Structure 1
Amino acid sequence: MPSASRAGGSAPGGSGGDAEFDAILDRRALYPVFQPIVVLATGRVAGYEALARGPAGSAFELPAAMFGHALRAGRLGELDWVARAVAFRHALRAGLPYEMPLFVNVEPMALRTRCPPDLVASVDDGAERLQVVAEITERFLGEDPAALMALMTRVRGRGARIALDDVGSNPASLALMSLLSPEVIKLDREVVQHPDTAVARQVVQAVRAESARTGAVVLAEGIETPQHRASAIAMGATLGQGWLFGRPGPLPRRHTHPGADLPRSAGSRAGDSTPFQIARRYRDPALTTRRALIRVSARLEAMASRAPEAMVLLATFQHRVHFTATVRTRYAAWAAGGAFIAVFAGGMPARPAPGLRGVTLRADDPLVGEWTVIVVNSYFAGGLFAEEVRSTGGDGQREFDAIVSYDRALLTEAAHSLLGRLNSRGGRSADG
């Protein structure tokens, strides 16, 4: 990513600015520049990142103005497709070989926009002939999880890899990182350039744990001095990007082999299954009571809350009456500390408490019969999956077939099935 936020910053307002932007986008008058990504130990070029620019000298030359205006104008999805298509066209025209990875930015919310017909051929050609690494913009990770899950499925279905961009600029990235299984984790420039802050140390610790667990490559952004390079290496980064190695510009005419291949994740196969249905593929359930499950749930939450980073917590409660004031208060406190929390139940409002996302379930939704608690971060993964089978008396005597698991693959798949139900407003209605 460039130093300016891709979808942030200010842009010209008023009808003049709107008309200029519309003309640029309608004419597809963007062009890409390419910044090298290098192996920190050797300086060998290991890939390039494509960065979008508007017409030189215009008010929309820099990406901050261009993407910020597109977001406000409701044309971010179209602009995202245009930027990717022109990057592919230029890379292919320049003869970028397949073995040289090309990093391109992708906004998850762009998947809510169909690729314009005039760009389909360029996008398909690039996906087939280039080794694409899709950079997910961290700012929108928690805004539209359903689009994010769809993006991951589409990207990996086309043979591309995923890079999580600007890690460290938003607590949501640390909470969701362990569920995305990115092949590349890009440390934010602020972490690299200011490594002695408490935030930077927390980010580096979480990223190191994720990289050690999954084999993800760590890439440090914003390297502008030899000191930044040394800090990046100390943080565990093996790849780097920044002005020390080259400013954005045209692609060179010749390329050497990057010398190392990026890892590849298997992705998720959650589909439309519920968490209990997924868990049952891995393990057989055991009959237990509601009282016993309350103790298991509390133990899982307590273990995750002791980790040095924020967690992802996804829970289903059958009906909102089971989402008690005590639980709501506890969850809201964790959300205030950076946790990503979503709750699902019949009658659940979209915002059940500050920082929480809610999804209301229809009466015929199979999830209504399940009790789920999934807690995940880079250090811990645990889950409770239960399906009510009968009631033998009071509420405490309700009986469930239940599975408790610490299998991260199972938990990730089950978490994806729930995240796919969330939209940008927090949850979907009973009708959608």
Structure 2
Amino acid sequence: MLDQRAITPVFQPLVDLTFGRVIGYEALSRGPAGTPWREPMALFAAARKVGRDAELDWICRANAYREAMRAGFGRELNLFVNMEPTAWRAECPADLTPIVDQARNRLRVVTEMTERAIADDPASLLAATANCRENGWGVALDDVGADPMSLALMPFVHPDVVKLDMQLLQAPGDQNTARVVAAVAAYAEASGALVLAEGVETAEQMAVARSMGATIGQGWHLGRPGPLPEELPEASALPLVRRSPGDARTPFDIVAAERPVTRTSKSQLMPMSRHLEALAGTGPEPPVLLACFQNARHFTPATARRFTRIAAHSPFVAAVGTGLGDEPAPGVRGAHLPAADNLRDEWNVIVVGPHRAAALVARDLGDTGPEADRLFDFALTHDRRLVVAAARAMLHRLAPVS
């Protein structure tokens, strides 16, 4: 089936909830009828077992692009396509490359990703989103609200479109729904992102979706998946979120460029560091915690126990440093810093959540006195823009889960 590229795309309309007009379509993939792989979950599960899920991902996207171009899509009509960011590490099959290249020049694609991608392979996620934007395409974060992780990781994806999970429309009075909607509204207001509600199956749910801040809807009430119509609707490309260019600096460089730098000892920094760590393990929506320890010897058994407790509740916890392994403590992602990495000179604690953001960044001055008296230059910020930029600089160091 994979060798024959026997995957069929179907298209579900995306509808402007204010004017009722179709503004684009989401491409969904189907395996051959009459086989156990008709539905996409079974299809990808089977491909994963034989190690060809990345290839399947390319096939699904290429077939969707081909069908959209055949139907007459241009850059004014929005095409939403799902992507597994881990497929970014896999080269596009040679027979599909011409289709993908044509699509880059002719289509306006919004690539949908899920929050689990950043937990599995954050570097690939960042690379994949950057590539989409280099093509003038957009990025959507899918299934927001299905897992608390999606809210904490939303700033790293920095989506142009936030897709509310269909479960939210089925429980509009639930406290968790209220938290998700509030967090998404805050992100959309600050970034200019659009909100799309999935699973709109009744007129009542369409009204609920609008009350949640959604301006676009998707679901059986608005149109079922099927072939593209012979006559495509008139539409305009969705606006994309303004974003800063990539930044190759370290967290200290990023924050210190805009915030006051103070010199102090390690003993004076410890309480601040512990305070930020504590923030990551509290509240109904625990944030992401990223930390740089310079060297594995600073990741002590007591620190490992602390981070293990935080990881039990936080959606993503990572610790990097020379000599640290891929999992320095249960549930904690890790990464070894090589000798050439200038992050080795930094002690950083970064916390990012839906409603809180903070970063303590410090640079070792290299003195050789007693451990508690070692001097650092440090800066502290709660500016979300700076905190997210600093966090992204650390996420690039994390390798994919094997």
Where on the TM-score scale, by shorter chain, does this alignment land: which range? Answer: over 0.9
1:55 maps onto 2:41 in alignment: no
Letter in 1 for 2:309: A
1:346 maps onto 2:305 in alignment: no
Structure 1 unpaired stretches of 5+: 1-23, 427-432
Contact 1:317 1:372 in 2 (8 A): yes
Aligned to 1:88: 65
Which region of structure 1 is more displaced relative to structure 2, 403-412 or 162-171?
Answer: 403-412
**SS of the residue aligned with 1:132?**
strand
Instruction: Tell me the distance in 2 between the aligned counterparts of 1:354 and 1:206.
Output: 29
Aligned with 2:202 (options 204, 219, 225): 225
Instruction: Tell me the distance in 2 between the aligned counterparts of 1:260 and 1:94.
Output: 17
The structure-2 alpha-carbon separation of the partners of 1:197 and 1:334, relative to structure 1 and needing over 3 Å to count, comes to farther
Instruction: Tell me the distance in 2 between the aligned counterparts of 1:73 and 1:194.
Output: 38
**Pairwise CA RMSD:** 2.0
1:235 maps onto 2:212 in alignment: yes
Instruction: Tell me the distance in 2 between the aligned counterparts of 1:141 and 1:368.
Output: 23
Aligned to 1:39: 16
Instruction: Tell me the distance in 1 between the aligned counterparts of 2:291 and 2:225.
Output: 44
Contact 1:300 1:382 in 2 (8 A): yes
Instruction: Tell me the distance in 2 between the aligned counterparts of 1:120 and 1:220.
Output: 33
Alignment of 1:301-380 (within 5 A): 301-303=277-279, 308-380=284-356
Letter in 1 for 2:374: R
Contact 1:85 1:119 in 2 (8 A): yes
**SS of the residue aligned with 1:266?**
coil
**SS of the residue aligned with 1:142?**
helix
Instruction: Tell me the distance in 2 between the aligned counterparts of 1:70 and 1:30.
Output: 12
Instruction: Tell me the distance in 2 between the aligned counterparts of 1:186 and 1:121.
Output: 30
**SS of the residue aligned with 1:46?**
strand
The structure-2 alpha-carbon separation of the partners of 1:215 and 1:304, relative to structure 1 and needing over 3 Å to count, comes to farther
Alignment of 1:104-253 (within 5 A): 104-253=81-230
Aligned with 2:360 (options 363, 377, 384): 384
Instruction: Tell me the distance in 2 between the aligned counterparts of 1:285 and 1:182.
Output: 32
User: Structure 1 vs Structure 2: percent identity of aligned residues?
Assistant: 46
Contact 1:206 1:309 in 2 (8 A): no
Letter in 2 for 1:236: G
Instruction: Tell me the distance in 1 between the aligned counterparts of 2:209 and 2:307.
Output: 35
Instruction: Tell me the distance in 2 between the aligned counterparts of 1:158 and 1:65.
Output: 31
Instruction: Tell me the distance in 2 between the aligned counterparts of 1:311 and 1:49.
Output: 31
Instruction: Tell me the distance in 1 between the aligned counterparts of 2:279 and 2:150.
Output: 20
1:298 maps onto 2:274 in alignment: yes
Instruction: Tell me the distance in 1 between the aligned counterparts of 2:117 and 2:321.
Output: 25
Instruction: Tell me the distance in 1 between the aligned counterparts of 2:387 and 2:375.
Output: 23
Which 4+ runs in 1 deviate beyond 6 A?
none
Structure 2 unpaired stretches of 5+: none
**SS of the residue aligned with 1:212?**
helix
Q: 1:117 deviation in Å?
A: 1.0
User: Number of matched residues?
Assistant: 402
Instruction: Tell me the distance in 1 between the aligned counterparts of 2:91 and 2:114.
Output: 19
Deviations 1:365-417 (A, max 9, x none): 32221111111122222111111113363211111122222232322222112
